[in-house]
Structure 1
């Protein structure tokens, strides 16, 4: 059976489980089904909205959410104009956009109610440091039960009565979607659209959608059906600590030129030509004094092949806390392909390094930088990228000229804060949205090609938060449990072996 039929069959089965569970008032099971189905659609990414799942969210929200905020009173007198709720479903520290939003909101003088997963406790040192001394309430929620998470979110709304709420989360966050839907008309709800290139749940849970570029706004308008008047554009900037110490390279860098790349490794896989690695192969072959460093996790099969072929010239490390300092020390940044990294592109520019980016016409690369077309970072075929990369590696004056063209391509921290204030007060910014209908077929094909059905269904369904589905999908849960046990045994044996050798 081909992938499309497998996905369609599983989608139908999950929706049947959802509908049946709602009818039986087993809402925890229904929510688990929505979560699994949403994650499936996100990973498959052949559409940007699913009306059935949106209706299920609305139906469950009306059944399970009890609001004590005062729906019959005017929201301006019932909510606190100086209180802003920020729901963060990721719970990361410097990765993503939470830190720059929280920093700006705090500097603008608002009281922040910060809702974040329990697992993040103790793991957000930079956010804690930046918000130290600010008016912030930290609310941690458990992820063990969808209904309990909904209750935590809604009770937080009711207790603190924010006039503004930001929704910043993963594409499958059904609990927060159900909670946010219920507060329509009671406060102004903003969705921060980080995942603008892919499917996500909850197109009806916000009053305004904050897009960081025209591409995302266009996808939201043409493919998600979000009205133009609900779209607001606000570019972001990469947070970094200039004072952070450089942690070093896993190689001797003296008299070497360094090509740096990074992000989730799946972004380098998926096109039939294996273009990313062919480009890298040619650059390393043509320049014997070049070392390649990749920072990120995932399937490293192709990268390992390169490391074998170019011994002691290809290195793979985990994500770096000193990313800005690493960028500063490279010759240029090679963007991932066929999926680029938007935030990594901005990190490169912030460090003054050219982010070489191969794209197709009208691809998701557009709009990462301000006036991006003037920055000369895009290439529409691998030959032109390789030719220019070789010149950058061997002509210092040319490299400097190209780096100078990057000046002014990222929004400043001050401007970001001012425009965020405009969003909170007036629901707009100075940035004009230019809508354009993109052809997303080629992009969808790459998702389809990369899609591994067997591994995906386990990741979507057989997880702790969806344990209520174990009786429906027992084999998936059993397989996952067995894999975990085997992994633990292997780890234990490795430890015994290492200690035995000592």
Structure 2
């Protein structure tokens, strides 16, 4: 396979964007929206840039045509209704439940708009909303087009007349951004849950809710947003309360259980350093075992475990729905690298478990402190490997130290009542109680990491381009076509 360079990916992005404009000019608005979303997926997986006002503007032009002009809510409109539009939420994942519970606690009148037709993902969320008399739920049927959804939401908002519009959306959600572009006299917010990457809509929002200084910095430096638009509000994790299903019987009862986990892509890159960190950690601490729970393609980790004789020391748990019980039963948490797990780190902290983590200083996105230390400060992330191994040994050897570290982290995470109060204040004043601070971000190092992952571990962009363009890929982007066919054939041969 031939490695992709930045110029190869930019060429794909530009081709997709030209196709979006051409589709709009020919009157094919559905296709234009598809191309805009496709551009966004390419940008999200590459991290060469973080916003594109041209795409936002194209979505505005499409929305104007298909919805018949702006949606204006007059300043003297009575009430304080909100619309919360969601594509990034599911039960016990994302930030939907934290925000919905805070709105309910504040007694707010709101409409919850869920774009995905699969309501099975939000059973708990829907149950909580439908039990609240001041909420309205808007959902869609399978097969509804993006234009149908945009028109339906626009028509609803014209009647509902909210004062605020809050987006909790996927980076390529064109529908929510088209509606956002139409709103006049409405405060428009984006919950920046994907603060490390590209997302649509930065040029059409009034406020961006940031959960850490890393995202605050990226929004200032790369998205063109002003300090006055950036509102700081960290979040807490949602517990599902599922019963603990136990660990495999072959794990010794007296072993130090080091839990690690997250989507497998988070441990790929930096020449497999995470794998080597695990191997040395176990070599220096014979009483320890590593338990890994995650989803995705784990073939490289499985091969490493076998080739290095770690079958009895690294145990793969699969995708665990009883994550609370897993954390309660482990001894401490090992952070993933080169991409840390934000939600997993928070679960560890609220479970009172110490966190062992490393990052190269150039990858500041991995500083766990920004994800956990909301109410108090703590040292969590080592930026030297020797410091990491020394702390790992102490955590394995000293039960009292583990407990004290975990108890401290438990006090660091923002509690639900504080979150509720700060969101209410934020929405009432368009100012946050917390102040963001700029930090150093090495954008080139981060985009280089994504390029390494694309070329050597998970070819998301290449497979997506081949799927979208099919045989046209061979004509437009022959390198990507050859790579995608090679990957596909290797997967078929492995299955056989």
TM-score normalised by L of structure 2: 0.88
Matches within 5 A, 1:89-488: 89-131=87-129, 133-135=131-133, 136-141=135-140, 142=142, 145-183=145-183, 185-241=184-240, 243-253=241-251, 254-272=253-271, 274-308=272-306, 309-361=309-361, 363-364=364-365, 365=367, 367-370=370-373, 374-452=377-455, 455-459=460-464, 462=467
User: Among 29, 32, 39, which residue is 1:30 paired with?
Assistant: 32
Q: Which residue of 2 aligns with 1:61?
A: 63
- Tell me, what secondary structure is at the counterpart of 1:123? helix
Q: How many residues align?
A: 476
Q: Which residue of 1 aligns with 2:8?
A: 6
User: Could you report, residue by residue, the CA deviation over 1:234-282 in whole angstroms, capped at 9, with x for unpaired residues?
Assistant: 01011114x532121233442222111111111111112x211111011
User: Could you report, residue by residue, the CA deviation over 1:171-229 in whole angstroms, capped at 9, with x for unpaired residues?
Assistant: 1111221111111x232111000010111111123211000011111110111111111
- The answer to whether the 8 Å contact 1:91/1:117 transfers is no
CA distance in 2, matches of 1:411, 1:423: 15
User: Could you report, residue by residue, the CA deviation over 1:335-370 in whole angstroms, capped at 9, with x for unpaired residues?
Assistant: 110111111111100000112121233601251122
- The answer to whether the 8 Å contact 1:167/1:191 transfers is yes
CA distance in 2, matches of 1:408, 1:460: 46
- The answer to whether the 8 Å contact 2:333/2:354 transfers is yes
- Report the alpha carbon displacement of residue 129 of structure 1 after superposing the two structures with TM: 4.2
- The answer to whether the 8 Å contact 1:54/1:204 transfers is yes
CA distance in 1, matches of 2:111, 2:64: 24
Alignment gaps of 5+ in structure 2:
none
- Report the alpha carbon displacement of residue 437 of structure 1 after superposing the two structures with TM: 4.7
Alignment gaps of 5+ in structure 1:
464-468, 494-502
CA distance in 1, matches of 2:394, 2:112: 48
**What is the aligned-residue RMSD (CA, Å)?**
3.0
- Report the alpha carbon displacement of residue 435 of structure 1 after superposing the two structures with TM: 2.5
- Tell me, what secondary structure is at the counterpart of 1:367? helix
User: Among 41, 49, 52, which residue is 1:50 paired with?
Assistant: 52
- Tell me, what secondary structure is at the counterpart of 1:201? coil
- Tell me, what secondary structure is at the counterpart of 1:282? helix
- The answer to whether the 8 Å contact 2:256/2:289 transfers is yes
- The answer to whether the 8 Å contact 1:92/1:120 transfers is no
- The answer to whether the 8 Å contact 2:89/2:95 transfers is no
User: Could you report, residue by residue, the CA deviation over 1:45-83 in whole angstroms, capped at 9, with x for unpaired residues?
Assistant: 1111223223322322332223585x3x62441x641x3
- The answer to whether the 8 Å contact 1:222/1:437 transfers is no
